[in-house]
Amino acid sequence: MIESQTFKKKNYTASPLPQDEYEDCTFIDCIFSNTDLSSISFVDCSFVDCDLSSAKIYATIFNEVEFTNCKLLGLPFDSANKFTFIASFTDCQLDFASFYQRKLKNQNFIDCSLKEVDFSGAELSNAQFKNCNLENANFENTNLEKADFTTAYNFSIDPEKNKIKGGQFSANQLEGLLKKYHLKIN
Got the DSSP string for 45-114?
A: -EEES-B-TT-B-TT-EEEEEEEES-B-TT-BGGGS-SSS-EEEEES-B-TT-B-TT-B-TT-EEES-B-
From CA 161, how far away is CA 62, in angstroms rounded?
A: 29
pLDDT in tens, the chain (186 residues): 989 999 999 999 988 898 899 999 999 999 999 999 999 999 999 999 999 999 999 999 999 999 999 999 999 999 999 888 889 999 999 999 999 999 999 999 999 999 999 999 999 999 999 999 999 999 999 999 999 999 999 988 888 898 989 888 776 666 655 555 554 555
pTM over 0.85: yes
Distance of CA 161 to the CA centre of its chain: 21
Q: Start-end ranges of CATH 2.160.20.80 in the chain?
A: 1-91, 94-178
What is the rounded distance in angstroms from the CA atom of residue 104 to the CA atom of residue 84?
Answer: 11
Q: What is the pLDDT of residue 183?
A: 47
Write down the pLDDT at residue 80. 93
Predicted local confidence at residue 90, as pLDDT: 97
The pLDDT value recorded for residue 186 is 52
CATH of span 1-91: 2.160.20.80
> What is the CATH number that goes with domain 94-178?
2.160.20.80
